[in-house]
Amino acid sequence: MSADIAPQERLITTIARLITDPSAPPARHVAVGMASAIPAAACWLLKKTGHSMRISLLQRQTGGPFSEGGRELFDLAGQGRIDLFFLSGGQIDGDGNINMIGTGEWPGTGVRFPGSFGSAFMYMMTPRTILFREEHSPRVLVEKVDYISAAGRSAPDVVRRGSAQALVTGRCVFSFDGTRFTLASLHPGETCESIAANTAMAYVTPADVPMTPDPTPAELALLRGPVCEEMLGTYPDFCRRVWGRALQENIA
């Protein structure tokens, strides 16, 4: 069955299972940032399976509880009314630090990334954050980020509501305990050795690492049908790339 599953579909269902992890605090209100189609699809998958949660999407004005996007999202997070957020980065290191600024000498003579926006605030104020990145390579998962856009951990005297729950990549899943990453599961075709060869950040490898579960047939049917329909207007490029669907088809 694995051969019929798009890599993005595996990441979507993996994130959905992390959201509903019974050992984690409940996710009653989940916020999804800009250009985060994979986490958005995970949230819609849960909604389509009957999971009760509120989704605020920065990608579209009507996806949030208010009308002014990021500013009011930050207000909600500051009030403790966002339970879960998602972050990615051009670089991620073993302390859970994220770099969304760039590489090289300041102001970025190497590669320039999109910018931090509210990542530092959301990382500190949200009880749970799931990190995600499709590319899994030594240039992304680095020993130490060039610049810290959002810190993965803080000093004991710094007020912080939460930290990363996990990091989901195109090769595996890492859990995070607030201090360090641990290899939690391997996607099909990967081994502990292949992960080590493609990872420069520090992490722990247990003696036994399970495989990441495949999406179920029911989950795939929902993703390729109702979830795609829900996302066509918001993430048309993603729907076209992953499911071969275009917005014009939906309108017709």
For 83, phi then psi, to 5°, come to: -95, -25
Q: Average pLDDT for residues 234-247, to the nearest whole number? A: 90
Which of 167, 29, 25 minimizes the C-alpha distance to 93? 167
- Express each pLDDT in 179-233 by its tens digit: 999 999 999 999 999 999 999 999 999 999 999 999 999 999 999 999 999 999 8
Query: How high is the pLDDT of residue 1?
Result: 46
Tokens found for residue 28: 């009653």
Distance between CA 252 and CA 121 in Å, rounded?
A: 42
Which domains does the chain possess? 2-222 (3.40.1080.10)
Q: Average pLDDT for residues 97-104, to the nearest whole number? A: 92
Instruction: Output the average pLDDT for the chain.
Output: 90
Question: Between these two residues, 247 and 192, which has the higher pLDDT value?
Answer: 192
- 59-68, 79-88, 119-128: range with lowest mean pLDDT: 59-68
Query: How high is the pLDDT of residue 59?
Result: 62
Is the predicted pLDDT of residue 250 greater than 80, yes or no?
no
Q: Could you tell me how many residues make up the chain?
A: 252
Which of 6, 83, 19, 8 minimizes the C-alpha distance to 47? 19
- Express each pLDDT in 116-159 by its tens digit: 888 999 999 999 999 999 999 999 999 999 999 999 999 888 88
Phi/psi-derived region of residue 26, left when phi > 0, alpha when psi is between -120 and 50, beta in every other case: beta
Residue 70: band (very low, low, confident or very high) from pLDDT cuts 50, 70, 90:
low
Residue 22: band (very low, low, confident or very high) from pLDDT cuts 50, 70, 90:
very high
Query: How high is the pLDDT of residue 202?
Result: 97
Is the predicted pLDDT of residue 251 greater than 50, yes or no?
no
Question: Between these two residues, 144 and 106, which has the higher pLDDT value?
Answer: 144
Contact 150, 120 (CB under 8 A): yes
Query: How high is the pLDDT of residue 252?
Result: 42
Is the predicted pLDDT of residue 29 greater than 80, yes or no?
yes
Is the predicted pLDDT of residue 55 greater than 50, yes or no?
yes
Query: How high is the pLDDT of residue 248?
Result: 63
